Every structure is written in C-alpha cells, then in structure tokens.
Structure 1
Amino acid sequence: MLLNHEQYQSSFDKAMACAVECEHCAEACTGQPDMVKCARMCLDTAESCRTLATFMVRGSYFIAPLAKACAEICDTCAQECEKHDMEHCQKCARSCREAAGMYRQIVDTAMAAS
C-alpha cells in the first residue's frame, strides 16, 4: 500500500533518532570484549532504522512489513541494552522501545487501511 511520505514525518524522526542512539551505543561499546554482542546488535538496529526511514521518504509499498521487522529488531536490541548499566545503553534501550512502538502503529494503520 503506497502512502504519502508526509504521513511518516514523526515516524521518520523517531527512526532516525533511534539510529543515532544505536550508533552512539555501538561506538561506546566498541573495544570492550564483554560488549561485543551489544555493539553488533546496535549497529544492525541502526541500519534497519535508517532503511525504514528511507522507505518512508519514498512512500514505499514495503513500509508495513519492514516496520514489523524493525519493531522486532528494536525490541531485541532494547532487551540487550537493558542488561547493561551504562547510560548510553539505557538511552539506546529507551529509544528502541519508542521506535518499536511507533513501528507497530505503522503496521496497525496499514492493516486497517487495506
């Protein structure tokens, strides 16, 4: 279902904010042997959020299925980051939870419209 990209502005902003927090967390975790999983998960999550944001800009037909996958990815990343007490991990987890909620709203809206 093709939707006008302006409908996604707040979602785009949330996706990019999540990508930034994930990149920051990954960078802060890099070089710490016990944080490799967190860093890698954050990098993958950042990439998925950026990809979804790009799809939103284009008004892609594939926004809803990608949003569903990104919600799961963000939830998984949040679970990993919540295991760690560092502030950057906690900020990343919060951003991932917020993004996942927004992505689920996109899916629900797309399903209702079809």
Structure 2
Amino acid sequence: MSHEKYQEAIQALHECMEACNHCYDSCLQEEDLNPMKECIRLDRECADICSYLEQALVRGTPFASELAQVCATICEKCAEECKKHDHKHCQDCADACYKCADACKKIA
C-alpha cells in the first residue's frame, strides 16, 4: 500500500481528530461559553483538516506535502489556544495537536 510511509502521521492525525472532537464537545458543556469560543472554533477546524488529511493520505493524494503544511499550521494554532485553558480536555487536545503538527511537518 502506498500510504505505509505515512503510517505515523495517519495515526497522529486520527488521534488529533479524536482529541479535538472530544475537546469541542466538552467545551460546549462549559457553563460560560464565551471564553471557549476560539477553542471550539479551532477544535472544529483542526478535527476537519486532520480527518481530511488522514483520508487523503490513505488514498495516496498527490497533495500530501501541501495539505500537511496547512494541517500543521492549524494544529499549532489549535494547540496554542487549548494550552490557554486549564481543562484536562483542552490540555490533552493541545498535546495531540502538537504531536500531529510535528508528524505533518515531516511530510511537508
């Protein structure tokens, strides 16, 4: 399979997508949503690009490098925002995002 060389990135992308979706859902449960708005928005952006890139790598996209660069940027922005919040789900999401950004940079 052509995507075997991307196995580490595919795993990181999947874990990041799951962490972002969990963070998104958990943030929506917070009593005061106002300070969480940017976190929620970036969780969605990040989960979507990670899911897309994971699928694209599996099917052998010719745009791996370009998509990975965009994904790394979004993952870093999401991680930076999540790090600002003390919630465990935000901290876990930030860790997954940084790991994913690093994996994407290896492709980009």
Q: TM-score, normalized by length of structure 2?
A: 0.93
Whole-Å Cα distance in 2 between the matches of residues 48 and 38 of structure 1? Answer: 15
| SS state at 1:53 partner | helix
Aligned length: 105
User: For residues 23-65 of structure 1, what are the alpha-carbon distances to aligned partners after superposition, in whole Å with 9 as ceiling and x for unaligned?
Assistant: 0000011152321211111011000000100111011101110
Pair 1:18-2:19 in alignment: no
Matched-pair identity in % = 38
**Divergent runs of 4+, >3 A:** none
Whole-Å Cα distance in 2 between the matches of residues 9 and 45 of structure 1? Answer: 19
User: For residues 61-100 of structure 1, what are the alpha-carbon distances to aligned partners after superposition, in whole Å with 9 as ceiling and x for unaligned?
Assistant: 0111000000000000001000000100000000000000
Partner of 2:25 in structure 1?
A: 27
1:57 partner amino acid: V
1:101 partner amino acid: D
Q: CA deviation at 1:8?
A: 1.2
5+ long unaligned stretches in structure 1: 108-114
1:40 partner amino acid: R
Partner of 1:79 in structure 2?
A: 80
Pair 1:92-2:93 in alignment: yes
Whole-Å Cα distance in 2 between the matches of residues 4 and 64 of structure 1? Answer: 15
1:48 partner amino acid: I
Whole-Å Cα distance in 2 between the matches of residues 104 and 33 of structure 1? Answer: 32
Q: CA deviation at 1:21?
A: 0.1
